[in-house]
Amino acid sequence: MITTSIKWARHNLFADPLDVVLSLLVIPGFLWLAYSVADWAFASANWDIIVQSLRVLMIGVFPADQAWRAWAASSIIGAILGAGLGCVFFFRPHHGFVLLLVPTLLLIIDGGIGNALPATGIVGATVLSWILTSYVPLSRKALPAVAFTGSIVIVAIMAPPGVGLWGGLLLSVLLTLVTSVLSLPIGILLAFGRQSRLSSLRVICTWYIEVMRSVPLILVVYWIWILMPVLVPQWGLADVGRGMIGFTLFYAAYVAEYVRSGLQAVPRAQTEAARSLGMSEFDINRSIVLPQALRVVVAPLVGNVLDIFNCAPLVFIIGLTDFLRAGQMILANPQYGDRTFEVLSFLLVTYFLIGSMITYAARKLEDHMATGSR
């Protein structure tokens, strides 16, 4: 073990004089930074603000007496995500132990079950659905129908107190899921439309994609928020719905470009062979072209999901309280004016962990699809 470590360090850190100089400068600096951060986090920082404000960070200004609705919706979201994970890679016991660290840490820090109980329910739903789709392959066939039904149930549970009260990390996750799911089929249609033989359809799709990719997201969200009540006042769509529409329309253009690059990677000989067999264009695209194209662009599509989550704070422009905005609301209280670093550190770590999980799942999905293609 020691010999292997010495060989690795000699090969990677001290291979030549330049590597030696860089290692002697970077490694001590990194160790000093890590020590300083750890010393502040465990000795100086006061994390009571996070425990006291956890409900606001998680669900925003959602009424406290209706918080069970938010936790139930979060559990359903966790179950859907867990089922999706089970379709990508097999559940292992250490996965469950890692996820259970979250409620355990909350129980230790909070000293009660107030915050740990909802976290336990969410993690439990995620783990159980993950186990189900891992060990019962037949359950994977019902996943689309279950996910669609679960989405309707989520809206039905969360709607009574008022859609405008949705907020916190739950709003960021909901916005990411809705945008990711809806932008994919729209983007696929736009990609095929841009390659269509009908010139009018091709021009319209190309124009839409180029316009959306040439303007900032915040402008699209703001314009949709303004125009929807003017164009269709009878709908009475809430701010959350208008924000999701703006995100979906914007990111569908990027999905279209990713899918189009995948479509171009499919060998033309395969489509010509399918036409020679008498297959229709619809069957060719559905059964031959699209599956191969999506396999090629898995990494960009998952990166798009991560980009959606990181851009969710932009909904502040239409008055919504996302995860980052909830943290700013807490710091706006003069009582917590000296806790800026604690709150921002918690936001940073949370964003980092969620982004890392999305990246890890993407890597596993790429490996899974690559294995299936061999």
Instruction: Mark whether 197 and 302 lie in a shared domain.
Output: yes
CA distances from 350 to 200, 305, 309 (A): 46, 16, 12
The answer to whether residue 202 is domain-embedded is: yes
Question: Which two tokens mark 315?
Answer: 């909904």
Q: Which of 9-13, 100-104, 265-269 has the highest mean pLDDT?
A: 265-269
pLDDT reported for residue 27? 84
Q: How many CB atoms lie within 10 A of CB 300?
A: 17
Instruction: Mark whether 151 and 215 lie in a shared domain.
Output: no
**Domain, as residue range, for 25:** 2-44
The answer to whether residue 6 is domain-embedded is: yes
Instruction: Mark whether 139 and 195 lie in a shared domain.
Output: no
Q: How many domains does the chain have?
A: 3
Instruction: Mark whether 152 and 169 lie in a shared domain.
Output: no
Instruction: Mark whether 171 and 102 lie in a shared domain.
Output: no
Q: Which residues pair with 322 in a beta bridge?
A: 168
The answer to whether residue 194 is domain-embedded is: yes
How many CA within 13 A on the CB side of residue 298?
18
- How far apart (Å, rounded) are the C-alpha atoms in residues 99 and 218? 34
The separation between CA 203 and the C-alpha centre of its own chain, rounded to angstroms, equals 32
Q: Is 355 exposed, middle or buried (0-12, 13-18, 19+ CB in 10 A)?
A: middle
With cut-offs at 50, 70 and 90, classify the pLDDT of residue 374: very low
pLDDT at 319 over 70: yes
Residues 6+ apart with CB under 8 A from 198: none
| More confident position, 70 or 368 | 70
Q: What is the pLDDT of residues 138-177, one digit of tens each?
A: 887 787 788 888 888 888 888 888 888 888 888 999 899 8
pLDDT reported for residue 237? 80
The answer to whether residue 51 is domain-embedded is: no
CA distances from 216 to 250, 257, 295, 352 (A): 9, 17, 28, 24
Of 129, 160, 191, the position where a domain reaches its end is: 160
Q: What is the pLDDT of residues 332-358, one digit of tens each?
A: 888 877 788 888 888 998 899 888 888
Instruction: Mark whether 71 and 167 lie in a shared domain.
Output: no
Q: Give the Cα-Cα-Cα angle 56, 57, 58 (nearest 5 degrees).
A: 90
With cut-offs at 50, 70 and 90, classify the pLDDT of residue 208: very high
pLDDT at 179 over 70: yes
